[in-house]
Structure 1
Amino acid sequence: MAKKTAKTHTVSVIEVTQGKAKFHITKIKASVLANISYASVRGVDKEEGAVQRILSIRRINSIKEYVLTIGQFPSSIILNWNDERISFKDGNATFLEEERTAQLIDGQHRVAGLRAAISERPTVGNLEIPVSIYRNLSTTECANIFLSINTEQKPVPRSLVFDLYGVADSSVIDHAAARARDIATALNEDDDSPYRELIKFPGSPVRRGGIALSTAVTAIKPLVSDKGDFEQRGIVELETQKKIITNWFKVLQKAYGEKWYENTNAFMYASGFTGATEFLRTKLLTVCQDKKSFTEKTMANCFLFDQNDLILQEEVKGKGGREAPQLIEERLMSFFKELQSVSDKFEV
């Protein structure tokens, strides 16, 4: 059987010079890009330019779903074209559409996601993808570019990501994180909230204390996720979820009284907020469910706080990672009456 003749493509390009490096910027149809490009994996492939990691199936599937719903890729796929059958002349590049023609320096998961989307919906192949083309780079040169992208160009702060969930299209957001953001927004804005104007959104003035939006969202998210602690108890309405969380922090606020807003209060910091939210999730919700009441009064009756032994920030200062929130949980447990007193009596 005769070998199929490779198709020739000609695309407009712009030459870019950055220091000693030169590359060309163009656009290539997704179907063509998926056909010509490949990933060379560090530690697996022996060829020059092998700097990539092993592909993540979960990430590919996530990108595929994004392609099928939104399908916008403004950032360039970066290629190391190690095949001589490409020419640049008069602002154009001409090349043959053959497999394993161009090595991927950056964008291997995006290309794999495009391939998966094309197999499900062939029309995706017409999507125009921006591409930057280098030629015959060494492993060192590929590594320099890869590290520049993945270390020097830092990802955006998580608080900004969570804040943008409030305005982004529903098809691209993490819905549990978006719900957690709505609750964090209510904590920051509601008049009766213990954290009114204390949740730090992007653009907030820099100050000591207060809870970063990313901290609040990360702490609340397990409560509101699909099959999370609220859903397991049939608590799915936003207003109800918000009220339960507010009730719990009101209990703590009243225990501290005028000291609540002082910088010595551990609950004015990330570890306190996280530890308190985790205590609500793992301990207090179960008790409230058994009592069939999630009111502020029911929660308050579960505790006996000592005004001379309040949880202070100095107790967790210097402790990192999970250690500080765990200490907060342990201290809350010391005030928790419900699990301290055990009786064989019950009412009928």
Structure 2
Amino acid sequence: MVDANEEGGSLSYTASLITQGKHRFYSLTIPSDVLARTCFVVDRDEDPIAGFQRLLDKDRAQQIADYIDAGFGTIPTSVVLSAQSISQFTYQRSKRTVRFLENPKSFLVLDGQHRIYGFHLAKSLLRVPVVIYNELTRVDESRLFIDINTKQKPVPNELLLDIRKLAEYRNDLETRLGDIFDLFTTEPSSPLFGSMSPSKRKKNQISRVTFNAAMKPILGLFGEASSSEIYRVVAAYLTAFMGQATERKLEVDVAQPIAFRAILSIFPEIAQRVRDRFGTNYASDDFAVIVSDMLKSVKPSSVKNVGNSVSSYAKIFMDGLKTKSIF
């Protein structure tokens, strides 16, 4: 790059000086291999590479390195550094350039530790956006580190799961779960139609995170069945359960995460009884017979104020199954 120069053991890059509040910092791009050679995360007396290895998750850093080496991705987020005195960091306003010595302890990493360790592990080189603070005290560095790492709000898991479909990043399990979720969301005949929230967590609605947590344990029962067939069977079960609960005046809100997970957790027991008694068609009317017998011994008061325990909620229904033989 034309804005990078070596002169007398130092490096220089074009940069912009930015002022925010009482702080000034410099925005620029630096080659990833230079960052790998000049940044550290531990005390100055310790080896920078060993420091990275001790403090950080190598598997996560290796994933970043693999992502870089694959050549298909991009990492546009700026790494945040604090220039140390040993770097002899300077800014020349007339040329809009920063200059610093290439030293293993030139920059303390305030944000982006795993990315920089990933750059060290990667075989490929890329240009990295960087923000550099200069002449910070240890107190300033500590406060900035705390601010950066506590004030950033993570993206909700519900939104990430929704976006992974658009990004075509889902694995086979995620694909099946996502397809089944979408059928419950979009099919007008779905017993959960209007109660699904694809991209965020909402009160009295089932998010992708809740749905996946409930469906994963029972998915293996269906073998290689298609997503539409799994949807058909589970929808038949939920339709039967909701109908029988309403008939017996049980206040069971299937859209509540605890209730939804508890009801699906007992699906294997219900499905086995349906299969033994009616075969493998798994129609809603067949489920209704088994569920009706199960709910006969469930008192309305027992499904109120059940707390946040999925297993405790499920036990209420399982006890109903065991009360008497249903054959």
TM-score band by shorter chain is: 0.7 to 0.9
3-state SS of 1:242 partner: helix
Structure 1 match to 2:299:
309
Output the amino acid matched with 1:295.
Y
- Residue 89 of structure 1 deviates from its aligned partner by 0.8
The Cα offsets for residues 311-331 of structure 1, whole Å up to 9 and x where unpaired, read as 876332xx34xx2x1222112
Match of 2:165 in 1: 166
Task: Assess if the C-alpha contact under 8 Å between 1:8 and 1:95 holds in 2.
Answer: yes
User: What letter corresponds to residue 241 of structure 1 in structure 2?
Assistant: I
CA deviation after TM superposition for structure 1 residue 161, in Å? 1.5
CA contact (8 A) 1:251 1:296 kept: no
User: 1:330 maps to what in 2?
Assistant: 315
Q: Matched residue of 1:267: which SS?
A: coil
Question: In structure 2, which of residues 254, 272, 297 is the aligned counterpart of residue 267 of structure 1?
Answer: 254
Structure 2: distance between partners of 1:275 and 1:268: 11
What is the TM-score when the length of structure 2 is the normalising length? 0.78
Aligned to 1:276: 263
Residue 64 of structure 1 is matched in structure 2 by 65
Report if the CA contact (8 A) 1:162-1:178 is conserved: no
- Structure 1 residue runs without a partner (length 5+): 344-348
Give the distance between the partners of 1:296 and 1:79, measured in 2 at CA: 62
Residue 104 (structure 2) pairs with residue 86 (structure 1): no
- Pick the structure with more helix per residue: 2
Q: Distance in 2 between matches of 1:218 and 1:77?
A: 35
Superposition pairs of residues 40-79 of structure 1, within 5 angstroms: 40=42, 54-69=55-70, 70-79=72-81
Match of 1:215 in 2: 210
Partner residue in 2 for 1:152: 151
Does 71-80 or 89-98 show the bigger shift? Answer: 89-98
Superposed CA offset, 1:80-118 (max 9, x none): 1213332211311122333232111111112222322x2
Offset at residue 234 of structure 1 (A)? 2.8
- Distance (whole Å) between structure 1 residues aligned to residue 247 and residue 213 of structure 2: 28
Alignment of 1:62-211 (within 5 A): 62-69=63-70, 70-82=72-84, 83-90=86-93, 91-116=96-121, 118=122, 122=123, 124-125=124-125, 127-170=126-169, 173=170, 176-202=173-199, 209-211=204-206
Gaps of 5+ in 2: 1-6
Report what 1:346 is aligned to.
none
User: What is the RMSD computed on CA atoms of the aligned residues?
Assistant: 3.8
Identify the match of residue 9 of structure 1 among 8, 11, 19. Answer: 11
Deviations 1:200-251 (A, max 9, x none): 23479x7x52223332233334555xxxx35xx6335323333343233223
Between the aligned partners of 2:218 and 2:127, the Cα distance in structure 1 is 40
Equivalent residue for 2:36, pick from 13, 34, 37: 34
Deviates more, 1:178-187 or 1:266-275: 178-187
Could you say what secondary structure the match of 1:336 adopts? helix
Residue identity over aligned pairs, in percent, reads: 21
1:315 to 1:93, Cα distance in 2 relative to 1, 3 A: same
**C-alpha deviation, 1:310, in angstroms:** 5.2
- For the Cα contact (< 8 Å) 1:159–1:212, is it kept in 2? yes
CA contact (8 A) 2:87 2:101 kept: no
Deviation by residue 1:22-61 (Cα, 9 ceiling, x = unmatched): 11111111121112112227xx97x9xx9x9821233223
What is the alpha-carbon distance in structure 2 between the residues aligned to residue 151 and residue 255 of structure 1?
Answer: 48
Shift of 1:271: 0.8
**Any conservation in 2 of the 1:165–1:178 contact (CA below 8 Å)?**
no
Return the offset for 1:79: 1.0
Q: How big is the shift at 1:175?
A: 5.3
The answer as to whether partners of 2:183 and 2:228 remain within 8 angstroms in 1 is no
The 8 Å contact of residues 177 and 218 in structure 1, kept in 2 or not, is answered as: no
Partners in 2 of 1:35 and 1:265 — Cα distance? Answer: 60
**Displacement of 1:133:** 0.6
Aligned residue pairs: how many? 310
